[in-house]
Structure 1
Amino acid sequence: MTWRETAPSRESPGGSTLATRLTGIDAARGAALLGMMATHLVPTFGPAPEWAPTWVGLTFSGRSSALFAVLAGIGLALSTGKQEPRQGSGLWAARRGVALRALVIAVVGLMLGGLDVNIAIILVHYAVLFLCVLPFLGLRLKALCAWAAGWVLAAPVLAYLVRPLLLEANPPLQLGHNPGTDDLETPGKLLADLFFTGYYPVFQWMAYLLIGLVIGRLALTTVRVQWLLVGAGTAAAVGAKLAGTAAMESFGGRAALEALPQTRGYPLESMLQVNLTGLQQTGSWWWLATASPHAGTTLDLLHTSGVAAAVTGVFLLLGRVAERLKVNFLVVLSGPGAMTLTLYTAHVWVVSGFAGNPLPAGWTDEGMYWAQALAAVSIGACFALLRRRGPLEWLAHQASRLGSYRPAAVG
């Protein structure tokens, strides 16, 4: 789940060669990891009957996972030519490497899907996104901008039209759980869930990777671009959220949705602020006017992508400051951000050990989160200081190298 730039390499103390990296990108990925962990461990809604949003729900829900996906697109752009995408045999080699990396991530995700855990695991969806974005890796900036804009506008509408057909099938083409190896026996249902009816619908989430590719094709090492990401991202995020709030509260959207049978009994006002997962979002075009987390609408995609762009710009600027001061204070985030596949997997496995069981005496949800966050930061920083890849990152890297291998020309 990490990327490595094709820049001049340096030798680690142990003799392994690691490529240089943009520390700010890794730090942003580390922040996304910690944010996702917070939504997994700390309640995003308060107690019944109000179900008021908590600060974790208002801050991280929908945004951390979207940041994760946008950063995936940035990483793919950086590893396939940066501002000038690879072409010809080099591009095909890069695509093969990405495909095999995606295979490793998918296998890990399917194995985690067999755990009893109350977490929507993103890895299988993440791997499928990698495969779906392969045709776009050779596009230049202008073409990517057009595709990203079109996807943000059209994908939510098409998904809104297709989703009811899948949910009305008998049985419904929706898993209702994390994808696991058993679901490979029903590929139609699995694919429908991955692309349209699941927690991270790939069809809409492709927008995040395309936007990430756009950002990654920019000159990210320049101050002008870094500030552009902060300014444009903030404007897009604020504008989309204001538009969604106005549609729901000022123009009657929420009242229309509350009248639907599927929303009766749900605290829709709270769900619109935190998470629409669990609602099928069918029966009214007003669903497309929300900017709610995990809505998958145009406004949601714009808001969360804007947040991702702004956060990326901020961490790139902080990376510049750290470089000038010659003090790598970002290592507390860039360390775990460089080995998110390993740490995310360990996090899910640890949480599964408490499924259905009370927390140890004296522990709270917040305490469990801070303990895991501290462990992730400590492990990540140690690996970064030793210039070592995480175990699963090493495996994914080897798969990528195998896929992108090109025999040397003879003669």
Structure 2
Amino acid sequence: MTLPSRLPTEQSEGPGDRPPPKTPRLAGVDAARGIAVIGMIAVHVFSLYDEQTGSVSWLAAVFSGRSAALFAVMAGVGLALVSGGRHGHRGRNVSADRRGIAARAGVIAVVGLTLGLLEVDIAIILVCYALLFVLALPFITMSIRQLAVFTAAWTLLSPAIAFLVRPLLDEAPFNAFIDTEPNWTNLADPAALLSSLFFTGSYPVFQWLNYVLLGLLLGRLALDSLRVQLWLAAAGAAALVAAQLISALLLQGLGGANALLATGETDSGNLVDWNKRLLLDLSDVDQTTSLWWLAVDAPHTGTTLDLLNTMGSAAMVLGLCLLLARVAGRGLLVLSGPGAMTLTLYSAHVLLMSFINGNDTTATESLLFWGQVLLFTAVGLAYGLTARRGPLERLASTVSKAARGPISLHSTFTGSP
């Protein structure tokens, strides 16, 4: 799962480790990340199939693919805020922004490569997440109009390009796959590592760049405007519904499902009646022999409709959290506290799940879920009430500020959260 560290307040900090008080806008942004934390834990802990009926659980429909997408979109929002917010930095400040973001990406990559060494049944996204930060650097100076055009075009084109590239990688004279989560040992085979990160892995950044671009676009909007917040919630909901209806029409109404079954790549267990939805995990399916695969909106398929579905849900959650921040006050800290230290909490979650898996614990799914939710909420509240950063967020911030160098007075106050 993607884990935005606390980018938005980095530029306007005073001495010490205490960031300035949060505005409702920042509280809403962190609350959206907090919801993503809860979704991440749910997906990693609970079975995504009902053991009695064999059907997909409601957790899959709500959280699968959406939590990771929400994190990635919020990463883009954070990058927008730290690089000037609504108006964006210009001149030398842009170079400082890019150095700071690249340094932060380096810290995240180190953490991700280390966590990848653990024995745990979790697709660890941190290395991909760090790469997304680097790929986003050229876009932080784009206007809202430019970002909108590029995001729309890349959402439409990148899945089709990836569809054409993946078979070529299958036949490439080099190994284009890694059979582990990205970790330090994979650096010995950079071609396989890069192919996996961009195209063949669990989180192909070639398509996932769309999430960060959308976040950059949203972060350039007036997020403290009631009109913008309502628009985000409504437009996001409309996008996710439209993606599902279009996919249903293509697969069920126009014969796409039958065409996919005829390829022999999948079975009717994956292409169920639409009232049960096409879910859940198609990672073991080749998805290369028919263009009808591009009509699927299942989680982690990386199609245009999957991207539209999950980008819509992310925008909707952000809008709702920003609206909630208007009325909840300090009560929102139960979400924004954990959401402000997601890099630390994600790492703790992976470590904890690795320990549990390695020791064959008999703890129930409910105990594992609620235990972690309550623990992480308590930790988030403690750090939030004392206005402190999480340990890994503090490390990333320190390295980032060192890379940025001296910050001009203009950059300290222009567009700061």
User: 1:210-253 CA deviation, whole Å, 9 max, x = no partner?
Assistant: 01111000000010100010111111111111111221122111
**Structure 1 pair 6/107, CA: closer, same or farther in 2 (3 Å)?**
closer
RMSD: 1.9
Structure 2 segments unaligned to the other structure (5+ residues): 410-417
How many Å apart are 1:152 and its aligned residue?
A: 0.4
CA deviations 1:55-98 (Å, max 9, x no partner) are 11111001111011000001100110111111121001100000
Q: TM-score, normalised by structure 1?
A: 0.93
**Residue type of the alignment partner of 2:79:** L
Equivalent residues of 1:10, 1:20 under 8 A apart: no
Partner of 1:313: 319
Q: CA offsets, 1:365-400, max 9 Å, x none?
A: 122111111111111111101111000000000111
**Quick one: distance in 2 between partners of 1:341 and 1:183?**
22
- Give, in whole Å, the separation in 2 of the partners of 1:408 and 1:250: 58
Q: Which runs of 4+ in 1 moved over 6 A?
A: none
Partner of 1:294: 300
Q: Deviations over 1:98-128 (max 9, x none)?
A: 0000000000000000000000011010000
Identity across matched positions, percent: 46
Q: CA deviation at 1:9?
A: 4.9
Aligned length: 399
- Say yes or no: does 1:26 pair with 2:30: yes
1:330 correspondence with 2:321: no
- Structure 1: runs of 5+ lacking an equivalent: none
Q: Is the 8 A contact 1:272 1:293 kept in 2?
A: no
CA–CA separation in structure 1 for the residues paired with 2:30 and 2:379: 15
Is contact 1:6-1:19 (8 Å) kept?
A: no
Aligned equivalents of 1:225, 1:329: Cα separation in 2: 23
**Shift, 1:357, TM fit:** 4.2
Q: Name the residue aligned to 1:371.
A: 371
Task: Give the Cα separation in 2 of the matches to 1:125 and 1:387.
Answer: 29
Matches of 1:57 and 1:407, distance apart in 2: 45
User: How high is the TM-score relative to the length of structure 2?
Assistant: 0.91
How far off is 1:159 after superposition?
A: 0.4
Deviation of 1:337 after TM superposition, in Å, equals: 0.3
- The yes-or-no answer on 1:354 pairing with 2:360 is no
Instruction: Decide whether the 8 Å contact of 2:10 with 2:397 is kept in 1.
Output: no
* Counterpart residue identity of residue 319, structure 2: G
Secondary structure at the aligned position of 1:262 is classed as coil
C-alpha deviation, 1:295, in angstroms: 1.1
Partner Cα distance (1:407, 1:90) in 2:
7
Corresponding residue for residue 159 of structure 2: 156
In the other structure, the counterpart of 2:56 is: 53
Deviations 1:290-333 (A, max 9, x none): 111111111111111111001000000011112xxxx4111111
CA contact (8 A) 1:24 1:319 kept: yes
Q: Secondary structure at the match of 2:19?
A: strand
Tell me the CA shift for residue 258 of structure 1: 1.8
Q: Secondary structure at the match of 1:4?
A: coil
Q: Which has the higher contact order (CA 8 A, sep 6+)?
A: 2
Report the Cα distance in structure 1 between the residues aligned to 2:238 and 2:258, rounded to whole angstroms: 28
Relative to structure 1, the CA distance from residue 8 to residue 131 in structure 2 (aligned partners, 3 Å threshold; closer, same or farther) is closer
1:37 aligns with 2:38: no
